[in-house]
Amino acid sequence: MRLEFALCFALPASLGLLSALVPANAALAQENTGVAPATVEACAAIDSDPVRLQCYDRAVGRDPHRVAKAERQNAELAAAYDALDARLHPDGVRNQAEERVAASIASRELSALDRRWELSPESKLGSFNLRAYKPVYLLPFAWNNRPNRLPQSPNPDNRQQDPFDLQPTEARFQLSLKTKVAQGLVFGEGDLWFGYTQSSRWQLYNSRTSRPFRETVYEPEALLVFAPKAKLLGWDLRMASIGINHQSNGRSLPLSRSWNRVVAAFGFERENWLLTLRPWWRISEDAATDDNPDISDFLGRGDINLVHRRGDHEFALLARHTFKSGEDSRGALQFDWSFPLSRSLRGHVQLFEGYGESLIDYNVRSTQVGVGISLFEWF
């Protein structure tokens, strides 16, 4: 069965949500009734400054009536440490090993996957904290070399009869959020996350047709996330998940497109690199009501996402494939580059080549280029 969505964003609401993402995050965190974060270090993973400050206060149980007591305890602890350090190093000199250990402790940070998925005990933030998921961006200029003016599908009920008047240049944006709803579900391991991603393509420059939204894809999912620890060819396996994923464009016939999948994911990291492997299996549907019976032969049966951070620049390469040969060998490549513009705003460039940039275009091959800004990326 296809899950239909009643959600339909107009431009002001969509752009308002994009610009208000950080304040909304703070308001939600303030009302959060989940458990407190396990450690102060866990709060460093939060992107929003107001939410991160509230997390620190909650983690340490900050209370104005207890501040004076805490200050006295800190002073006593500092005095005890100074006395011990003076006994161990009467000449005031530490050896190189001690200096390296001290520097390591002082600069200790959670890994990228740990920050994103709260994998270690030190990174736990509790439940119902709204977090960024996939990149959140706005591309005012997105060029398509092959606009799909006559969407088709093997199902006769899903074939457009009259061509659309489409411009090759449009605007595109993506919103993506996630939250953990429960943790430790399987023998004390396994956290349940809910994610939601929405991407829209808007014919902003098409005044002849009143600038319509050409396509919006809604993608809710539920994931059970685990924290394995293993090494493979120099990479650290830090995350594994299994989940249910739904994608739909929420349209009526003949433009309706949707599918449901069981998706597994394996996250690896090494220094400033992230690698995510995702095989998936489509959940079969009744052939009479299947909007797109051949979608797996175009959107593929899995993808690989490779992300590299160099300084303040971030590069991501996404590859999808059908895992077939010959004329059935199809897929897509997407390259994203983000770079700093200000403290909280980044530039974003996106290149796409292949099948299925959106659901309505699942069986159309195109080359697309987009330029704009982003709020959140993978790191």
pLDDT at position 93 is 58
Topology of the domain covering 110-376? Outer membrane phospholipase (ompla); Chain C (2.40.230)
pLDDT at position 87 is 66
Which are the catalytic amino acids? 246, 248
Which residues lie closer than 8 Å to 59 by C-beta, 6 or more apart? Answer: 36, 37, 39, 40, 42, 43
Query: With b meaning 16 or more CB within 10 Å and e meaning fewer, what string describes 347-376?
Result: bbebebbbbbbbbbbbbbebebbbebbbbb
pLDDT at position 70 is 63
Q: CATH 2.40.230.10 residue ranges in the chain?
A: 110-376
- How far is Cα 310 from Cα 64, in angstroms, rounded to an integer? 42
Contact status, residue 60 vs residue 37, Cβ threshold 8 Å? no
Q: Which two tokens stand for residue 168?
A: 């090759």
pLDDT at position 104 is 43
Q: Which two tokens stand for residue 19?
A: 């610009």
C-beta neighbour count of 253 within 10 angstroms: 12
pLDDT at position 53 is 74
The rounded Cα 204 to chain-centroid distance in angstroms is: 26
Dihedral sign for Cα 119, 123, 127, 130, please.
Answer: negative
pLDDT at position 373 is 98
pLDDT at position 44 is 73
Which residues lie closer than 8 Å to 56 by C-beta, 6 or more apart? Answer: 40, 43, 62
pLDDT at position 222 is 99
- How far is Cα 163 from Cα 149, in angstroms, rounded to an integer? 5
pLDDT at position 65 is 56
pLDDT along the chain (379 residues), means of 10: 41 44 41 56 73 74 62 71 67 56 52 93 92 97 98 97 97 98 93 99 98 98 97 96 98 98 98 97 96 98 98 98 95 98 96 98 98 94
> Annotated binding residues, as ranges?
210, 251, 256, 291
> Annotated binding residues for Ca(2+), as ranges?
210, 251, 256, 291
pLDDT at position 267 is 98
Contact status, residue 285 vs residue 246, Cβ threshold 8 Å? no
Query: With b meaning 16 or more CB within 10 Å and e meaning fewer, what string describes 153-172?
Result: bebeebebeeebebbebbbb
